[in-house]
Amino acid sequence: MKNILYIEDNPDNLLLVKRVLTSHGYHVLEARNGFEGLSVAQREDVDLILLDINLPDIDGYEVARRLRSTGKSGLAYVPIIAITANALKGDAEKALEAGCDVYMSKPINIRELWARVEGFVESPQ
Amino acid sequence: MVPQPTANGHASSGKTSYYSQLECSGCGEMFDTDKIHTFCPNCQSPLLVRYDLENVRKHIDRDALRHRPNGMWRWHELLPVKDPKNFIFLGEGDTSLLDLPRIGSELGLRNLFVKDESKNPTGSFKARGLAAAISKAKELGIEKVIIPTAGNAGGAMAAYAARANIKALIYMPKDTPRANIEESRIAGAEVVLVDGLISDAAGMAGEKAKAEGWFDLSTFKEPYRVEGKKIMGYELAETLDWTLPDVIIYPTGGGTGLVGMWKAFEELEALGWLHNIKRPRMVCVQADGCAPVVKAFEEGASFCDFWLNAHTLASGLRVPKSFADALILEILRKSEGIAISVSDPAILEAQRKIGRMEGIFPAPEGAATLTALEKLVEQKWIDPGEKIVLFNTGLGLKYLDSLI
């Protein structure tokens, strides 16, 4: 089973993305804020992280930085796809500098998301 | 005067529009045509209008359409507005297809043309898309519209919204050409200048739309702008006596025109209106400082990566990632076309060359197509006898600040 961690506080986005990924055979772990996301990433075996940038506690950039400097074996190299509500100035640059691998802005084109996820973690189906 | 549906020859069956379905370009789901839509709520891909082409074929004589009053709305059966009272008309459409004899001769090309979209109201091709979108917005009862823009789309939206008595709010980068800022304000729109790119403007407009209920007319985030743009494809076919050119060279920011023309060619083929069904090779032209489609095309990718630190004097090409990137890339590949980027100095040189040799003062985006053509001739990607159409998307006079 391939585990994808989605760190996102918006329930609509969470539902939409979870539905799509689950239908392709991935197992989706959820976190509603940055600290919860870091905690799940430490605790579980995660293959890919989808990271919303606008989170209610620490922002996604900080989450990415902390993930990249973690001591947990392998976690620092788990691919991160950053997702922002709006492509505001420098968001893409900041996300990549913080250690994310790919940047996407909402609305998330589901076909693109699926293609990008598959690019990192092959679909179990 | 608004051109009304007429019955010249067999041009009219009495039906204003054969708009029958609204289809998601990603997952294929269908949506109600009489409701307000943005993009697909399920897969978040652009929605495309579908027509009852079988009945258009039965009831409309393509050759009789020439006799209708000039302008985009003479193709109203193939546009989405169902009541002619909602046509918002400022003279858009029926732009000239001019030959370029001196430049053609210099490059050894025998059939070189430019579709000069600067003849549209507000001086750019954006008038076509916004005429369709604002007309449909009026039909759907929308009272306030918002748009993020690199410039010309804002001016066009402001003009059509003014005529439709719809409130307009525009977000544009603060370094947008002054002509675009002033034309928008003159037309009564509220203009917000943003410290950033069109993607930043899109972000802010998106938030405002959500918070205050403005209808967002961003490229491909509503289904109707592309319908206005597609008429460029119909006009090309009609002007070339119902044939298509071999190559179309098109400056690509959001890509509505490219997607729209390809849609027109598909519809024309389904209607049986073409003498040759060979589609043109589509060439997407971008700037070296913002070339997400070129990169994705060369890498064989299905989607574009967001282009970092986008910069070019051709403001219409400063689009770090189009919402319709998948469609654009699919069309380039299907058409056996290509994506190519050009430098800002070369764009400025081409702008002067087109002015000096052909008497046309193109927008930088339009001039970029000549630079791309020169490269393609050099690479022998184009044969001397092929029929080639460049697109000048706007009036050079609107970009005086960029002339250095």
pLDDT value of position B13:
60
Is residue A107 reached through a cis peptide bond, with omega within 30 degrees of 0 on the bond before it? yes
What residue segments make up the domains of chain B, in order of their start?
A: 19-86, 96-120+226-402, 126-216
- DSSP class per residue in B72-130: GGGGGGGSS--SGGG---SS-S--EEEE-HHHHHHHT-SEEEEEEGGGSGGGBTHHHHH
- What are the residues facing A52 on neighbouring strands? A83
The whole-number pLDDT of residue A107 equals: 84
**Count of A–B CB contacts within 8 Å?**
73
- Which helix (H) or strand (E) covers residue A105, if one does? strand A102-105
Residues of chain B positioned with their CB less than 8 A from the CB of A110: 26-27, 42-45
* Structural domain harbouring A77: 3-120
User: Alpha carbon of A2 to those of A28, A31, A124, B63: distances in Å?
Assistant: 8, 17, 7, 59
- Give the single-character DSSP code of B169: E
A110 domain-assigned: yes
User: Is A69 inside a domain boundary?
Assistant: yes
Between B209 and B277, the higher pLDDT residue: B209
pLDDT for residue B6 is more than 50: no
Classify residue A125: in a domain, yes or no.
no
Domain total of chain A: 1
Chain A nearest-CA distance from B106, in A, is 43
Q: How far is A34 from chain B (nearest CA, A)?
A: 22
Kindly identify which residue of chain A lies nearest to residue B173, measuring between CA atoms: A89
| Residues of chain A with a CB closer than 8 angstroms to some CB in chain B | 16, 20, 84-93, 96, 102-105, 107-112, 115-116
pLDDT digits (tens, 9 = 90+) for B67-104: 999 999 999 999 999 999 999 999 999 999 999 999 99
Helix H or strand E encompassing B8: none
Residue A104 lies in a domain: yes
CATH architecture assigned to B126-216: 3-Layer(aba) Sandwich (3.40)
Nearest CB partner across the interface for B200, out of A88, A102, A108: A88
Cβ contact B302–A107 (<8 Å): no
Chain B residues near residue A86 by CB distance under 8 angstroms: 202-204, 206-207
Going by pLDDT thresholds of 50, 70 and 90, the confidence category of residue B197 is confident
What integer pLDDT is reported at residue B8 of this predicted model? Answer: 41
Q: With contacts defined as CB-CB under 8 Å, which chain B residues touch A111?
A: 26-27, 43, 45, 302-303, 326
First to last CA, chain A: 10
Q: Is B112's pLDDT higher than 80? A: yes
Residue of A nearest to B197 (CA): A89
- Helices and strands of chain B, counted as H and E runs: 12, 13
pLDDT (0 to 100) of residue B11: 55
B313 within 8 A of B348, measured Cβ to Cβ: yes
Closest CA to B46 of B270, B331, B336: B331
Residue B151 backbone zone (phi > 0: left; psi -120 to 50: alpha; other: beta)? left
Interchain contact, A109 vs B44, CB within 8 Å: yes
DSSP class of residue B401 equals G
Chain B residues with beta carbon closer than 8 angstroms to that of A87: 199-200, 202-203, 306, 320-321
State pLDDT tens for residues B348-371: 999 999 999 999 999 999 999 999
Q: Cα distance from B320 to chain A (closest Cα, Å)? A: 10
End-to-end CA distance of chain B: 40
Which pTM value belongs to this model?
Answer: 0.91
Higher pLDDT, B1 or B372: B372
**Is there a contact between B196 and A96 if contact means CB atoms under 8 Å apart?**
no
- Hey, CA dihedral for B354, B358, B363, B368, is it positive or negative? negative
Burial track A61-70 (b if 16+ CB lie within 10 A, e otherwise): bebbbbbeee
State the average pLDDT for chain B: 94
Residue B58: CA atoms inside 13 Å, Cβ hemisphere, count? 8
Confidence of residue B203 (pLDDT cuts 50, 70, 90): confident
Phi, psi angle pair for B192, to nearest 5°: -110, 120
Which is nearest to B247 in space by CA: B346, B357, B340? B340
List C-alpha distances in Å: B370 to B98, B237, B335, B349, B398: 14, 22, 20, 10, 19
Q: Which domain CATH number covers A97?
A: 3.40.50.2300
Asked whether residue A92 is assigned to any structural domain, the reply reads yes
User: B303 vs A108: CB contact, 8 Å cut-off?
Assistant: no
Hey, which of A71-80, A106-115, B194-203, B281-290 has the most confident mean pLDDT? B281-290
A21: chain B residues, CB-CB within 8 Å: none
Whole-angstrom Cα distance, residue B359 to residue B356?
6
pLDDT tens series, chain A, 125 aa: 899 999 999 998 899 899 989 999 999 999 999 999 999 999 999 999 999 999 999 999 999 999 999 888 889 999 999 998 766 667 888 999 999 999 998 888 888 998 899 999 988 77
Which of B181, B179, B78 lies closest to B132, judged by CA?
A: B78
Determine the CATH number of domain B96-120+226-402.
3.40.50.1100
Give pLDDT tens digits for B317-334. 999 999 899 999 999 999
